[in-house]
Amino acid sequence: MRLIPYYISAMLMVLFYASCNSHQSSKGTEKDIIAEFDGEAIYASEINTIIKQELYDELCRIHNIKKEALEQLINVKLLQKEANKKQLTYQQYIDEYTDAKIKKTGTDSL
């Protein structure tokens, strides 16, 4: 279960690397034109070549945000499952667990 985020990460990295290294000509199709300057077309592929590292960094940042959100969601679902086993609501389970830890270690340890 803990390996799933790493597999997703690896797949995203491979996909991004493959898309960055695809052999496109410097000239794309008309739909890839994003601007014109002095009658000359400027293609998205030209821009992507210039900002390749920045795009990669942003995709990595997005991936890390999604990975953290996935881990949080899994933790919430695991806690909810434990709460259901004890026939408690999520908040009741968290409160009980916290109170038990405080009683066990004492407030000075916190």
SS3 content of the chain, % helix, strand, coil (to 5): 75, 10, 20
Full-prediction pTM beyond 0.85? no
Model pLDDT for residues 8-52, shown as the tens digit of each residue: 666 666 666 655 555 445 455 667 999 999 999 999 999 999 999
Model pLDDT for residues 65-96, shown as the tens digit of each residue: 999 999 999 999 999 999 999 999 999 999 99
Q: In this structure, are strands 33-37 and 40-43 parallel, antiparallel, or unpaired?
A: antiparallel
Contact at 8 Å (CB) between 93 and 83? Answer: yes
Instruction: Tell me how far apart the alpha carbons of residues 49 and 45 are, in angstroms, rounded to a whole number.
Output: 6
pLDDT band for 4, please (50, 70, 90 cuts).
Answer: low
pLDDT band for 110, please (50, 70, 90 cuts).
Answer: low
DSSP 8-state symbol, 9: H
